A and B are shown apart, each in its own frame.
Chain A
Amino acid sequence: MGRLAMQGTSAHGETAYHVATGPVGAALEIDDFSLWYGKTQALHGITMRIEKGLVTALIGPSGCGKSTLLRSFNRMNDLIEGLTVTGRIRLDGTDLYGAGVDVIALRKRMGMVFQKPNPFPLSIFENVVYPLRVDGVRDRDLLEDTAERALKAAALFDEVKDRLQENALGLSGGQQQRLCIARAIAGDPDVLLMDEPCSALDPIATAKIEELIANLKGAYSIVIVTHNMQQAGRVSDNTAFMYLGRLIEYGETQRMFVAPVVPRTQDYVTGRFG
């Protein structure tokens, strides 16, 4: 992939910013985005570009705001009372927080995978086609095709094809998480948001999910929040390091780990704090 190197700084001028653009352009453009929970400011003027078709990892110590940032992309934070935001997040040029944005339509363009597997207490089949059910799809063929495609994409189809009508809660933790990934991609989103998707899984299940992320890359723009530096190194193309609600450094993953510009990033990736 031919990439153009790009140098930039945030509005505050304190972020080291050196990122490879993807082949097609930006999936999300974040422009001076700040967020408050009541009076507490959780995000301070974040400015960055999530590249289309690549995997972007958000790393940083607990409480640094990486999950908050991720949940701002599909406005899941709206559920919290007393939330205020400033700045913009653009998806194909439209501001997610602009006036008249249909949040439900927006969420349909984003698939989300959560920290703990959260399958619904329904059959495996119904779990996968849930995004279609929500849209009122009744066409049996379409539902079945989608379920098969999504489950195959999530590398789960062979394990569950004979028991699609069984309760999803009977699956193992790793299977449940892959089911959630299948569910997230069944709605054919543009962006896949993953909030520490492996933190509740054992190493083997984690390896499978990581493999899956590598396979999904290209078809989807993936943003993954992770605590695990090695994981970020393995799966992502770009990495953003956040600290105390600020974006400290953002760049190509390899460079970030080998030659971080900011001393604090160096400290974190080498395990000196965090």
Chain B
Amino acid sequence: MSVTELHAARRARRRKRADLRAHGEPQRWATGGALMLGVLLILGFLLLVLWNGLATFTPGPIAVVHLANGTVLAGEPTRAEAFEPTDETLATLPPDWQERIQAEHGLASRTLYRVGNYDLYGEDFRWVADYEIRAVEHPGDVVFVERAEWGPFVGRFARIELAGTSVAAKDVSADALEEAHRRARERREEIRHVEREQIGAVNREMERLRLELRRAELAHGPGSEAASRTAARVEPALAELQREYDELAARAAELRAEDSRHRVTLEDVNGTPKELLLSEIVRYYPANAIGPFGALGIYASRWWEFLSDEPREANTEGGVLPAIFGTAAMTLLMVIAVAPLGVVTALYLREYARQGRVVSLVRISVNNLAGVPSIVYGVFGLGFFAYTVGASIDQLFYPERLPAPTFGTGGLLWSSLTLALLTVPVVIVATEEALAAVPRSIREGSLACGASRWQTIRSIVLPQAMPGIMTGLILAMARGAGEVAPLMLVGVVKLAPELPVDGVLPFVHLERSFMHLGFHIYDVGFQSRNSEAGKPMVFVTTLLLIVLIALMNATAIIVRARLKRRFAGSQF
């Protein structure tokens, strides 16, 4: 090739644009597209949860539906969908309906009504096809009654019995009924207070004395002098408590008798009556006559009940306060346990250990721990913490309660420790990276000042690594708060109205089993008798869980931002 040819070739190359791949344009689109897809998925998920969650507590109108077969039903329309009626059904329909369905390519539509009255009908929801309907009306006097048992009742008030005198519902003013209902609810609250808290306290005290006696017998042998001394002390106290108990029981019975003098008789749209105590009604409203502000009030009151009350109706109704509390307490305990464990481990690995084959092996193992299925941790937690450590604690400190376990079964403490174990790899990895990011120069500066290694770590390295460590803790917290599977083995239960923190000595009961929002979602959605009623609760609880985790993370992020500001300008 001559020099001129070379020049010509070079000119040709120069004129041509660099090709697409060289510019990296497709790669940019691919990576950006992948990100967009991820963002869209997350947004869609959040929107779905938000939409369903927020809509759950909206009170809807009640439709009274007259069917072609002459029966009547009333209910809250929940959703509608298209479906394909079978040929046999089609054949029984009048010709005009047959034509309409044919025009729609064989599809008819149907609506799901929440008819309630489970005690009368044996079902809460009913599908009604459009062709079955003769007429739909929205009468103003139909009420939606939320009951403490049996789910909602849809119908009308027939008779109302206040303080023993029964009158027709139409002769009682709405305000009078409201007032009577308020007082009935207060009475119920009082009954609960007496039965659960006061009688409960007496029971606990009696149990404590009995255990004391048992303990003395176990320690010194039954019939020994010490045991009989204890018995002499305990027995009069027990008698006194028994008297107290009887008084309280009498008071409760009195209240209950008063309560039973306030009743209502409801009847459904077909006139089937149902009598119940006024105090059994949680909330009632004339669904078609409440107006927007009334609806808003119902909506707010339902949210309040959800956030501040205990669950009822096998968790599908009522509130989730114990679950909120359990989730938060468990997560906080977990962080308290995992932070020192993870940080100290990482400190040794990064700052003290001789970097070699053994340390590499340890590091690989730690990373692999993060990939172990969480249920395995649950098994370990149950086997080690509950059955081994907990059983030993019981042997040593609570022998009088055996065979009933105290720490020897699942509980808040064991759950937190199990999750701490599950999340510790995250903290170790994050802490190690944060430590590695602290520049060597400032370590050397500290050592050159005559600081020992530990002084250097404590006053220079750790503070500067703290934001990175916090990131690790945030990740661990998010993972831990959302974990359910291991908890089912080590302490989460379907219903635990007793909170792990209360006014009874020693105030914090780490051995108690607890409720958890994550498990609550599973339980409501898939373990309840009525999954259609549970479905909206699934979304609300999911929404709540997300909000709770977001709140806890936001707190941690704010703390981290403060720490970071302290080191503004440092090499982070």
Contact = CB atoms under 8 A, between A and B. Distances in A.
B463 interface: yes
A76 B451 CA distance: 12
B452 interface: yes
A31 B543 CA distance: 74
Contacts of A116: 441
B567 A121 contact: yes
A134 B455 contact: yes
Given A116-B441, A118-B439, A118-B444, A134 B449 contact: yes
Interface in B514-572: 566-570
A53 B277 CA distance: 99
B228 to A, nearest CB: 59
Contacts of B570: 121, 169
A110 interface: yes
Interface string A120-137: 111000000011011100
Contact of B448 (A76, A105, A169, A170): A76
Contact of B567 (A104, A114, A118, A169): A169
Interface residues of A, number: 30
A120 B441 contact: no
Nearest to B439: A118
A187 B445 contact: no
Contacts of B566: 121, 167
B111 interface: no
A108 B446 CA distance: 11
B20 to A, nearest CB: 43
Contacts of A134: 449-452, 455
Interface in A63-117: 74, 76, 79, 81, 104-105, 107-108, 110-112, 114, 116
Interface string B103-141: 000000000000000000000000000000000000000
A177 to B, nearest CB: 12
B569 A169 contact: yes
Interface string B453-468: 0010001100110000
Contacts of B569: 167, 169-170
Contacts of B355: 81
B449 A187 contact: yes
B447 interface: yes
Contact of B445 (A105, A110, A114): A114
Given A121-B570, A169-B567, A130 B451 contact: yes
Given A169-B567, A169-B568, A169-B570, A120 B445 contact: yes
Contacts of B354: 81
Contact of A110 (B442, B448, B455, B459): B448
Given A104-B452, A108-B450, A167 B442 contact: no
A246 interface: no
Nearest to A130: B449
A52 interface: no
Interface string B462-476: 011000000000000
A111 to B, nearest CB: 8
A105 B447 contact: no
Question: By CB atoms of chain A within 10 A, which of B442, B445, B450 has the most?
Answer: B450
Interface string A153-194: 000000000000001011000000000100110010000000
B450 A104 contact: yes
Contact of A167 (B448, B450, B455, B568): B568
A153 B18 CA distance: 61
Question: By CB atoms of chain B within 10 A, which of A105, A111, A114, A121 has the most?
Answer: A121
A61 to B, nearest CB: 23
Given A184-B448, A187-B450, 6 more contacts: A79-B447, A107-B449, A108-B450, A114-B448, A118-B439, A118-B441
Interface of B: 354-355, 439, 441-442, 444-452, 455, 459-460, 463-464, 566-570
21 contacts: A76-B444, A76-B447, A79-B444, A81-B354, A81-B355, A104-B452, A112-B448, A116-B441, A119-B442, A120-B459, A120-B460, A121-B463, A121-B566, A121-B567, A121-B570, A130-B459, A131-B449, A167-B567, A167-B568, A180-B445, A184-B448
Interface of A: 74, 76, 79, 81, 104-105, 107-108, 110-112, 114, 116, 118-122, 130-131, 133-135, 167, 169-170, 180, 183-184, 187
